[in-house]
Amino acid sequence: MAAAALLSACSKKDAAPEPVRAVKLLTVGEAQLESTREYAGDVRARVESRLGFRVAGKITRREVELGQHVKAGQVLARLDARDYQLGAEAARAQVSSATTQRDLAQANAQRFRALRAQNFISAAEMERYEASLKAAQATLDQAKAQLSTQSNQENYTLLLADVDGVITGVDAEPGQVVAAGTPVVRIAQDGARDAVFAVPEDRRSSIRMGQGVKVQPWSDASQTIAGQIREVAASADAATRTYQVKAALQGGQLPALGSTVHVWPEGTGAANGAVEASVIKLPTTALRQDGGGGQGTAVWVYDPATSTVRLQPVQIATADGNEAVIASGLKPGMQVVATGVHVLNPGQKVTIYRDKYAKAGKEPDASASEADGRPQQGATGAAEAGK
């Protein structure tokens, strides 16, 4: 008896029966694809320039701040101009010296012209004095040109705004030594504005030059701005693999620079870019992702004859709002589990979930629902099937 008791204690216990779970079902049906060809973009100036000094030097002062509106000719930044001032002074001294030499050569030439007229000097001697005058004049012209260059160099130590605009970036600060041409500030020119957005590769062919667009500011949904595509990138961005598109905005009152906007290209479907097509759509809660079993994406299909569920692999085409568009794997009329897909097993017995808080009415016939497999969810089931 002791041995029998010991053996019975060591024997393997039968596994507990798998619970019968209640599931929500929805009937697969075709519906209209409601997604719109909508893109997020931002407002930028048609012309945005990076301004830098035309000479090298150390920045001593920056006169503007980020976001400040500036006028043409306004000083934006300054360089240490002492070296250029000394160069200009040296050039002025050379001009003064060259002027003196030219005046002396001119006086000699005039004096010897009179002597030549009286035949006191030879023609060769006279030509020598004329050549000296021309050389002195050339030296003076060279000194004046050098002075002009040095004066320009001194003036270039002031960075001036070329046009009216807004400072959109600051790339250098006081105390920094910059080379000629190094960007110091960025300025967005007043005037035309563009809505700039990115288009994926599969939709690049639907965008063309001159195509109309509708632009809506994110901050004001009641405002709609017309635009026209004026530029499409010839190659995709190396990181995002998208094509940059610029649409010229039309109208007088345009959004501020940097504003977020929604863009709908025209001619890509119904109103506001909606694409009219009949597809099969499911909520994302109905999709089951296999963690490594090779199934990929699948759904649980309900079998009304046995009240069990089986896995059905499906292929996802795209997203439509919060729903997934099914490319293959399902047919209209099939019933799939809507929620709780990760707690089911193949062949598991299930019951159809009924909302006990549903509106008072006729009591649903459990046997009929089990037999024909229709979900007892009323309008909810119909709405889910129409999605």
Highest-confidence range of 99-108, 267-276, 277-286, 292-301, by mean pLDDT? 99-108
Retrieve residue 147's tokens: 């002075």
Predicted model pTM: 0.55
Please give the average per-residue pLDDT across 274-298, as a whole number: 74
Secondary structure (3-state) at 296 = coil
Q: What is the mean pLDDT of the chain?
A: 83
pLDDT (tens digit, 9 = 90+) per residue, 263-275?
Answer: 999 875 544 444 4
pLDDT tens digits along 89-124: 999 999 999 999 999 999 989 988 888 888 888 888
Q: What is the pLDDT of residues 47-75, one digit of tens each?
A: 999 999 999 999 999 999 999 999 999 99
The C-alpha R_g of the chain, in whole angstroms, comes to: 42
Give one DSSP letter per residue of 339-386, joined into a string.
S-GGG--TT-BEEE---TTSPS-SPP-HHHHHHH---S-THHHHHHHH
pLDDT band at 33 (very low <50, low <70, confident <90, very high): low
Task: Kindly give, in sequence order, each residue whose CB lies less than 8 Å from that of residue 81, ignoring residues fewer than 6 positions away.
Answer: 57, 154, 157
Is residue 4 within 8 Å of 11, Cβ to Cβ?
no
- Are 279 and 30 contacting, i.e. CB atoms less than 8 angstroms apart? yes
Mean pLDDT of the 327-344 span: 89
Burial class (CB in 10 A: 0-12, 13-18, 19+), 246: middle
Residue 322's Cβ-side half-sphere holds a number of Cα atoms within 13 Å equal to 4
Q: Smallest Cα–Cα separation from 244: which of 259, 252, 234, 256?
A: 234
Query: Alpha-carbon distance 299 to 283, whole Å?
Result: 11
Predicted confidence at residue 268, as pLDDT, reads 57
